[in-house]
């Protein structure tokens, strides 16, 4: 059969060459060139990726809004319960969650993808089993849970994060940055080794960080009363971040907000809700700032998540190995390379998949470097 088909093709070609010699010669030349050309790498879905984490924000508030049991003095630590019930309580979960997170539900969820709502059989889970911050950040940044990391003061991260891996590539040289309120991120990213900018904690931002001298921002960092010794407030960090994005135009950015976790640990449900509301506004501000810049417009993806969950009701202030439910998180993606699917049903993702997803969106394969890393969850095929 193969010999007969080959003879037929040769005969047809010879006949065409007699009738249309120049056309056939040109066709054969084009085919030869195409077959000899090297394979072209698929275009990356995104030019820039921003990973945003609001520390310890529960899925319960994200999907259901304020909890009536926590809008109280005893369980929620709220002084003026009437005021906060009036502000945050509504009859439906859809209304309540939108009060706290309007940009998330009007834009991110509508135009992107959200995982983690148990009511829809949607799971977003950690795999490290520790259920607190450093193990969670390591998992999402390196793609693998590390049992050695068993405390927040563990020290420099022995694992290579996807940020460090990208920063070593020529295409991302001086284009990878991490901004966070918590000083421990200097260790989580292993700033001394990482080869990219890490700005975390209370140290005032230098000109090298923000791109220009900013006396008012410097003064804010130096003179603000420190509620937490190693965790600055979200607002000044946001100001430094915006200055940096405008001046330096990084392609890969980490943003870590910390107040949602700190106020929950302090049993201040009112301030935890207010901080979540502020984070939503900060994310919207960052998105609009970047979309107004030609370097980012239509070419940027946001991944938004949290590092761990929290307990239910009496345990809502806590997380850790012994806290039931603190393994449940939530995750969202929005922007370039993300098809609008809204809340996912009967689906599951893990924190360990984030690192590979960041690389995949940028046209890179993190699994070649670390085969143990979780597989990318985007694009959804």
Residue 132 belongs to domain with CATH number: 3.40.720.10
79 and 160: one domain?
yes
| 160 within a domain of the structure (yes/no) | yes
For the chain, the distance separating the N- and C-terminal CA atoms, rounded to the nearest angstrom, is 38
Check if the beta carbon of residue 352 is closer than 8 Å to that of residue 144.
yes
**Looking at the domain assignment, is residue 303 inside a domain?**
yes
Residue 378 lies in a domain: no
Q: Which two tokens stand for residue 307?
A: 């590092």
* Domain identity same for 248 and 347: yes
- Tens-place pLDDT, residues 111-122: 999 999 999 999
Q: 184, 204 in Cβ contact below 8 A?
A: no
Residues of the chain with pLDDT under 50: 1-41
Distances (CA, A) of 148 to 11, 54, 129: 70, 24, 12
DSSP β-bridge partners for residue 49: 252, 301
DSSP 56-90: T--HHHHHH---TTTSSHHHH--S-HHHHHHHH--
For residues 26 and 111, state if they share a domain: no
In a domain, 290, yes or no: yes
- Regarding whether 291 and 151 lie in a shared domain, the answer is yes
For residue 112, the model assigns a pLDDT of: 98
Q: Are residues 32 and 52 in the same domain?
A: no
21 domain residue, yes or no: yes
Residue 308's domain spans which residues? 48-369
Whether residues 116 and 196 fall in one domain: yes
pLDDT for the residue 213: 82
Per-residue pLDDT tens over the stretch 7-23: 444 344 444 444 444 44
Task: Please indicate, yes or no, whether residues 30 and 115 belong to a single structural domain of this protein.
Answer: no
Q: Is residue 376 part of a domain?
A: no
Residue positions counted in the chain: 381
pLDDT of residue 58: 98
pLDDT reported for residue 16:
42
Nearest Cα residue to 114 out of 355, 380, 310: 380
- DSSP 8-state symbol, 328: B
Please tell me whether residues 155 and 95 are part of one structural domain.
Answer: yes
Beta-bridge partners for 335? 301
The verdict on 19 and 161 lying in the same domain is no
Residue 43: the pLDDT is 65
Whether residue 206 sits in one domain with residue 63: yes
Say whether both 128 and 215 belong to one domain: yes
CB 237 within 8 A of CB 216: no
Rounded to 5°, angle at Cα 289 from 286 and 295: 110
Q: Confirm whether 341 is domain-assigned.
A: yes
The confidence score (pLDDT) of residue 212 equals: 81
Regarding pTM above 0.75, the answer is: yes
Same domain membership, residue 322 and residue 253:
yes
Q: Give domain status of residue 381, yes or no.
A: no
- Which pLDDT score, from 0 to 100, does residue 344 have? 98
pLDDT at 210: 87
Q: How many domains does the chain have?
A: 2
């Amino acid at each position: 059969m193969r010999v007969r088909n080959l003879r037929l093709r040769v005969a047809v070609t010879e006949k065409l060459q007699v009738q249309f010699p120049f056309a056939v010669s040109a066709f054969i030349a084009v085919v030869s060139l195409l077959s000899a050309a090297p394979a072209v790498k698929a275009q990356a879905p995104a030019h820039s990726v921003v990973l945003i984490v609001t520390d310890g924000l529960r899925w319960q508030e994200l999907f259901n809004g304020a909890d009536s049991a926590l809008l109280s003095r005893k369980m929620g630590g709220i002084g003026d319960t009437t005021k906060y019930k009036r502000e945050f309580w509504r009859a439906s979960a859809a209304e309540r969650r939108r009060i706290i997170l309007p940009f998330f539900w009007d834009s991110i969820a509508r135009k992107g993808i959200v995982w983690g709502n148990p009511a829809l059989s949607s799971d977003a889970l950690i795999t490290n089993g520790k259920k607190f911050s450093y193990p969670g950040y390591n998992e999402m940044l390196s793609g693998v849970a590390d049992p050695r990391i068993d405390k927040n003061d563990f020290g420099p991260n022995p694992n290579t994060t996807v940020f460090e891996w990208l920063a070593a590539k020529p295409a991302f040289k001086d284009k990878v940055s991490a901004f966070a309120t918590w000083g421990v991120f200097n260790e989580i990213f292993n700033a001394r080794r990482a080869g990219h900018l890490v700005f975390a904690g209370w140290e005032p931002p230098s000109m090298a960080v923000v791109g220009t001298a900013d006396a008012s921002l410097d003064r804010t960092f130096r003179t603000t009363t420190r509620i937490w010794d190693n965790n600055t407030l979200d607002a000044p960090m946001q100001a430094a971040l915006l200055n940096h994005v405008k001046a330096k135009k990084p392609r890969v950015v980490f943003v870590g907000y910390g107040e949602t976790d700190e106020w929950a640990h302090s049993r201040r449900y009112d301030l935890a809700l207010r901080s979540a509301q502020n984070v939503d506004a900060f994310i919207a501000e960052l998105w609009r700032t970047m979309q107004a810049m030609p370097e980012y417009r239509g070419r940027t993806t946001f991944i938004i998540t949290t590092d761990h969950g929290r307990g239910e009701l009496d345990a809502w202030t806590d997380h850790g190995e012994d806290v039931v439910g603190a393994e449940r998180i939530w995750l969202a993606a929005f922007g370039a390379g993300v098809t609008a699917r809204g809340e996912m049903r009967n689906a599951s993702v893990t924190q360990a998949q984030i690192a590979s997803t960041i690389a995949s969106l940028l046209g890179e394969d993190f699994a070649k470097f670390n085969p143990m890393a979780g597989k990318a969850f985007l694009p959804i095929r």
